[in-house]
Amino acid sequence: MVSLENPLQPHENGIRLALEQARIAYEQQEVPVGAVVVHDGRVIGEGHNLRETLNDPTAHAEMIAITQAAGFLKSWRLLDCTLYVTLEPCPMCAGAIVQARIPTVIYGAADPKAGASQSLYSITTDPRLNHQATVMGGVMELECAGILREFFAEQRAQGKK
């Protein structure tokens, strides 16, 4: 018997929340990537890209959400948490995921140029490291990729990026 259930559906709410953060970034002329960290069904960290605003190359959505979540839990170990992010994490963010011991990462759009969870590298699942995460990509992929395409098309039309 073939199941008609969507295996991605349970994670769509998390990605929707991450997309809200991406929209905030878009409004601030930041690359529209958003992230949320969920623990026991509750958002304990959220973030969107702030690299331009803060002039900080480490101000990625995931880094901000992870820092907030660690502050909330009063622990750098984000056990029993799920990170939802609209774009596949880069090498820096994938390293932070491993260091924070986040067990589950769900992302929307793959990043063939800088993705470090499945596309280009597999840092978050590398068995040589002291921690691995379960990773699932492609949740609401069209919406997540669409906001990025729209942003960069607008930036190019304005002669910016």
Strand partners, 43: 38
Amino acid sitting at position 3: S
What is d(CA 95, CA 91) in angstroms, rounded to the nearest whole number?
6
- Residue 26 to residues 73, 103, 151, Cα–Cα distance (Å): 29, 29, 7
Residues with catalytic function: 62
What is d(CA 22, CA 13) in angstroms, rounded to the nearest whole number?
14
What is d(CA 50, CA 30) in angstroms, rounded to the nearest whole number?
6
- Give, as one character, the DSSP assignment of residue 106: E
Q: Residue 8 CA to chain centroid, in angstroms?
A: 16
